[in-house]
Structure 1
Amino acid sequence: MNTPIGSRYPAFLRHTHWITFVLVLLAYITINARKFLERGSAERLFAVESHFLLGMLVLLITVPRIVVRLRHAAPPIVPEPGVASRLAAWTAHLALFVFLVVQPVLGIASRLLSGRGIGLPLTEWAIPSVGAAQPELAESLEHLHEFVGEAFYYVIGIHILAALWHWLGRRDNALQRML
């Protein structure tokens, strides 16, 4: 179903967009903060475990977000952009949604395959690894997770710049649809 809607995305999509933004921002902050914290310290463990939890939350929010998004047509951008802009926007949004699913899955898989499980911050609880540890595969997935995370600084940056360009340059309603 692709039901048309008004001039804004449905409230669920708007809210989950901004919640996802905050969660991704915090995930990047926590994983980068660990570099400045002493190995083996409680603070570093908290940063790393928070990163894991934030990634899992991103995945849990993104799946229903995609389902709802597929059921609703995007509100029209007024004035309508050209074909090249629409194709670029479609491509960027697809990349962002793939990232929001693949990145947490890579992180979760690499951690579980390492045999260490996934600790939850400020608790003694952990999601245990299942099966035998596969350290080589876990390391490969972790490197891919890190590469994708680095590459997505650029995609996220382009997304933000495009929103600002629509708002300040084109003066259309693209950004307002998500507010």
Structure 2
Amino acid sequence: MIHTNTAMKTQYHPISILFHWLVVVLLIAAFVVIELKGQFPKGSEARELTKTIHGFIGQIIFVIMVLRLFARILFGAPEPKNPSQALAMLSKVMHWLLYAILLIAPIFGILYFQYAGKEIHFFGFTWPQLVTPDPVMKKSVENIHELLGNSLYFLIGIHALAALWHHYFLKDDVLTRILPKMKGVRN
């Protein structure tokens, strides 16, 4: 059954909560690994390994984000709680922008590897070569991927600050409705 009335929802579905926190953990891992890349000389095995690990994590994020969108369609999401309609609209825009970037950035990551002429493996599956290797396109796609990644730092920061603002200043349940329910603990 598709949940179309989200106005009555007060909590995210447990599957949505799981996907949210999985993406958070994977994003931290992806950011750490790609920042480590700069510690190794260009062309070194260690540097290539960091890019491979980063790409693998990105593919997992993509899969989880697709599943998360299905969960959102299926189970709905609580409406934003903001003191003004403008802030409520900004909240919705922020969520959908984060979803879009978390889906688009991995696609550009895959294109980066493909324009570099490298095979991409994912759980024993090798992606078909969708584009012809091209160093100019590789650099363009890399720049877009980096821009999307850097924008995530900024948007995630705003997202987290907004959740903390709701929790500590507005004293509402915006933060607790995305936290997993724990037995014996009251929100």
Give the TM-score, by structure 1 length.
0.87
Cα drift, residue 140 of structure 1:
0.7
Equivalent position amino acid for 1:92 in 2 = M
Cα drift, residue 7 of structure 1:
2.7
**Is the CA contact (8 Å cut-off) linking 2:30 and 2:54 kept in structure 1?**
yes
Q: Which residue of 2 aligns with 1:27?
A: 30
**Are 2:107 and 1:105 equivalent residues in the alignment?**
yes
SS in structure 1 opposite 2:38? helix
Aligned-partner Cα distance in 2 for 1:81–1:62:
29
Equivalent position amino acid for 1:104 in 2 = P
Q: Which residue of 1 aligns with 2:133?
A: 133
Unpaired runs of 5+ residues, structure 1, are none
**Is the CA contact (8 Å cut-off) linking 1:3 and 1:72 kept in structure 2?**
no
Q: Residues 3 and 84 (structure 1 numbering): CA distance in 2 closer, same or farther, change over 3 Å?
A: closer
SS in structure 1 opposite 2:11? coil
**Is the CA contact (8 Å cut-off) linking 1:119 and 1:127 kept in structure 2?**
yes
Equivalent position amino acid for 1:34 in 2 = K
Equivalent position amino acid for 2:98 in 1 = L
**Is the CA contact (8 Å cut-off) linking 1:77 and 1:172 kept in structure 2?**
no
Q: Residues 49 and 28 (structure 1 numbering): CA distance in 2 closer, same or farther, change over 3 Å?
A: same
CA RMSD after TM alignment: 2.4
Within the candidate set 8, 12, 20, 2:15 is matched to 12
SS in structure 2 opposite 1:36? coil
Q: Which residue of 1 aligns with 2:51?
A: 48
Q: Residues 34 and 128 (structure 1 numbering): CA distance in 2 closer, same or farther, change over 3 Å?
A: farther
Cα drift, residue 81 of structure 1:
3.4
Between 148-157 and 57-66, report the one with greater CA deviation: 148-157
SS in structure 1 opposite 2:33? helix
Unpaired runs of 5+ residues, structure 2, are 180-187
Aligned-partner Cα distance in 1 for 2:66–2:167:
28
**Is the CA contact (8 Å cut-off) linking 1:114 and 1:135 kept in structure 2?**
yes
Equivalent position amino acid for 1:67 in 2 = F
**Are 2:63 and 1:60 equivalent residues in the alignment?**
yes
**Is the CA contact (8 Å cut-off) linking 2:16 and 2:68 kept in structure 1?**
yes
**Is the CA contact (8 Å cut-off) linking 1:49 and 1:119 kept in structure 2?**
no
Between 35-44 and 11-20, report the one with greater CA deviation: 35-44
**Are 2:119 and 1:95 equivalent residues in the alignment?**
no
Would you say how many aligned residue pairs link Structure 1 and Structure 2?
176
Q: Residues 131 and 176 (structure 1 numbering): CA distance in 2 closer, same or farther, change over 3 Å?
A: closer
Identity percentage of aligned residues? 29
Q: Residues 12 and 145 (structure 1 numbering): CA distance in 2 closer, same or farther, change over 3 Å?
A: same
